[in-house]
Amino acid sequence: MIESAKAFAPASVANVAVGFDILGHAVQSLGDCVTARRSPQPGVRIQSIAGVTTDLPLDAANNTAGRAVLALWELNRAEGGVELHIEKGIPMSSGLGGSAASAVAAVVAANELLACPADKLTLLRCAMLGEQAASGSMHLDNIAPSLFGGLVLTVGIDNPRIKQIPVPRSIRCVFVHPHLRVATSDARALLRKTVSLSDFVWQSANLAGFICGCYTNDLEMIRDSLFDVVIEPQRQQLIPGFTVARASALANGALGCSISGAGPTVFAWCDARHAQQVRSAMVEAFGQHGLPCDDWVTSIEAKGARLSVQAASKVRARE
């Protein structure tokens, strides 16, 4: 019997400009870790929260990681309980899928304590219930890439279909987090509930063109389709400096630039040779608005959630 397991789940860029609520990609080197430890006391308890964010609910039912593991435990009618130790690497309300990453890392770690571990689709569903505790809505565009890795399309919610989309190898994502907080629930509340017919046609063409460009290694097709005519125009008011940062990224070679998830992080896709100049241009644009930033460059082929080496070697020994 494994007594404890630790998992890492990466941050993610949701929507990717053209796939609101259905498209997202994982990023490298930024994410959350959760350790799950078996406990004789039934139920799920959040034992500690450490890292860049600590002001999160300790009540398991209201905590994304806790809620996700409760769902997994109930589904498996597992005996005993679990203690969770959460280490946040992803800043709160940054638009980088922090609540999804905690939920994913928690179910991946807790799954190791089960006599019959669940499959990945079950983990996806449990993590989605966890994220719902934080955002109030059900969407998989952070959960799916954080669990599976890479660029992921999800179709459906009750019985989601997951498709990892190949991306041209030279593409990098620059993502810049200006030091602001945007609550996902607020950024969703401001969206109009209807879309005009012409915007629907335009956005559909962009989504189709973007996915086609990814499959066919066609950077110019990606450039011509990687822009959001529906959501970004409504949300950009939440991010001072956004329009300047976007224009600077495009002027420095970016293929496209938009809001990561609900923001305020802004991302740009570009060819690897332009990544550093796009990064500097975006950081400078936010600097002009008095906003300090954290900034990163990632490949889109980033891996999904994984057990820490120690936990993984125990799994191999068990097999």
- Contacting residues toward ligand HSE, per CB under 6 A: 14-15, 20-21, 139, 141-142, 184, 187-188, 261-262
Cβ-based nearer residue to ligand HSE, 96 or 278: 96
- Least Cα distance to 43 among 77, 72, 75, 70 occurs for 70
Cβ-based nearer residue to ligand HSE, 158 or 220: 158
CA distance 108 to 117: 9
Cβ-based nearer residue to ligand HSE, 83 or 228: 228
Closest separation between CB of residue 305 and ligand HSE, Å? 17
- How crowded is residue 220: how many other Cβ atoms within 10 Å of its Cβ? 9
> Which tokens go with 162?
């997951």
> Which tokens go with 191?
């969206």
- How crowded is residue 306: how many other Cβ atoms within 10 Å of its Cβ? 16
- Least Cα distance to 236 among 111, 21, 207, 228 occurs for 228
Cβ-based nearer residue to ligand HSE, 196 or 234: 234
Cβ-based nearer residue to ligand HSE, 230 or 255: 230
Closest separation between CB of residue 263 and ligand HSE, Å? 8
Closest separation between CB of residue 193 and ligand HSE, Å? 14
The residues near 1 (Cβ < 8 Å, ≥ 6 apart) are 38
CA distance 247 to 242: 9
Closest separation between CB of residue 231 and ligand HSE, Å? 7
Closest separation between CB of residue 134 and ligand HSE, Å? 9
> Which tokens go with 316?
């191999």
The residues near 319 (Cβ < 8 Å, ≥ 6 apart) are none
Closest separation between CB of residue 235 and ligand HSE, Å? 8
Cβ-based nearer residue to ligand HSE, 103 or 187: 187
H/E stretch holding 161: strand 161-165
